[in-house]
Structure 1
Amino acid sequence: MSIKNGNVRWAFDLRSWRCTLPDLELATSCVQPEERERLSKFHFIDDFKASIIGRLLMRQFIKSCLPELDYNEIRFERDERGKPFFVPATDIRDKIDFNMDFNVSHHERYAVLAGWFGKNSKEHNGRQQHVGVDVMKLEYTGGGKALHEFFRLMDRTFTSNEWKFIKSRNGDQNQTAAFMRHWSLKESYVKNIGVGITIDLQSIDFQLSTDNLFTNKIVRDTVVKVGGKPLNNWLFEESLLDNEHCVGVAVKNPSPEYLELSENELIFEVIDFERLMHDAKPLLNIDPMYCQMVLNKKLKKTV
């Protein structure tokens, strides 16, 4: 699992994870007790799997950045909006001057993490790098509505400029892909600044210069205006994880090390359960009844 100049881009393929009982016993013993309780409230096993993998991605990110930490020293709390953040032990701060930021997202097949870690934070003059990430499936399920009717209902989601781009695509499939691409960008931006989609989405205007996304290639020429003014010190990454899923990353105050990275170094690395759990150590006792309860949960749909 790679950290490139302090930057991480990881994706976990949820569909390929068999989620056996031994896997589940390990996974559910390696999260904080309040998180295990929170996870139990999910009605569908799809949501449970995506959420626990997101939590384990965060733990692996911290452990990879700070290998001197014991696994049980990695602790997260949540802010007033429910966003998790790392709470470092005081003695670690005394030994290492660092800043970090990370964000997770999941949708359909993938859970993803984008993160940044930098030592010698004083050298950055307080301009800490921040990241937001969002993954979307390039699919319109419809709910019985025609695509044009769905677009009408979602009219206030995008600006006139963004709708012009979306509706200029040829055919429903390409229009859907353009819609999801814009949605992923907006989500990555609002998650970066920590406000959620309560913000007026029409005040955020993305201008796409590249018509199509590809796997194994990063698009970095997308720009944004907020309230009609271009944002400075922001970069946006876009790519496809596969032919059905796009991912957007919003980077605020990109560090000098980040700016030195090539596009190839920012491609999402797909990891499996074995790699995710490398160096993980149980925090809780294994609970077979809890795990069986999880395995008895229903799927939202057959995939």
Structure 2
Amino acid sequence: MFSSAPVTDNPAWLSLLGDLPPLRVEVTADNLNTQDARVQAYLAYYGIHFARNPGLVHGFGGLEIAGYRIATHYWLPAGAKGTLVVVHGYYDHAGIFGHAIRFGLEQQLAVVAFDLPGHGLSSGDRVAIDRFDTYADILAGVLERLQPVLPQPLYALGQSTGGAVLLNHLWRYPRQAAHWHRIALAAPLLLPRGWILGRISYALLRPFCRRLRRSRSRSSHDETFLEFLDQRDPLQDKTLSVQWVGAMKDWNAQFRAFPAKETPLLVVQGTADGTVAWRYNLRQIRRKLPHARVALIEGAGHQLVNERDDYRQQAFMQIHRFFFDN
């Protein structure tokens, strides 16, 4: 799926980070930016060059939303039966979500994927954010800007922090969220594993430190994926933002203060997840969303959309059932 070529210090396509062409919503062959050689190299590097498929249109570029330039993709298959909106997690970006994009396209859905602020090819202080509300504001802006080309109904898939973004959007943008036909959260984030000690460290370090060195990722059983993250993905940041940790702490308190909702949604969770405090997170989600369904994937890790084949297939099977089986 991903390129096996070694990373150079500065691959030519990485210039897109500061020079991303604007995304035009009108779907015509001459305004989708995908003929740019840098874009072609970027798509090939991450294995998301799905527009080579007959009848599939791919638009890519930047949307100016809330003071950020947001790197945004849409894939539109002929005769699309709806749209899947994919929201990635912390440290992630659209480039490594090829399995989720392919899942949507295989269901004959259009797919929207974008890089959150400070992630991937989007602008912003790297992997930092003032509050999680900003992430949901970006999602709302993407949906508003792309509304003219998005086939209905709308489906949503959020991984980890992406799940938190969808939850935030569900409460803070109720009119827009009413258009979600189905929502699936994969290992959604409220608090991380080990937060009891983590919050002490956060309180001690916050006055003196802006960033901490990131440890090696163990979020998946797919060793090829983990090696790519650690060694060959130039869009992976190597630090943890202390500001982001504070925003995450505030997000947990904000979620706990939300009133309960009757919205049905799906939570898919691996039981070997060492990244989030998943038992705590599920308890809180069930309190606020009593009609939520929970599907546990025995032995699966955190990065469900990029897990080993057997775990990933179980996760997508649960999502498929929830989306399409009545």
- Give TM-score scaled by structure 1 length: 0.33
Q: Indicate the structure whose relative CO is greater, using CA pairs within 8 Å and at least 6 residues apart.
A: 1
Greater fraction strand: 1
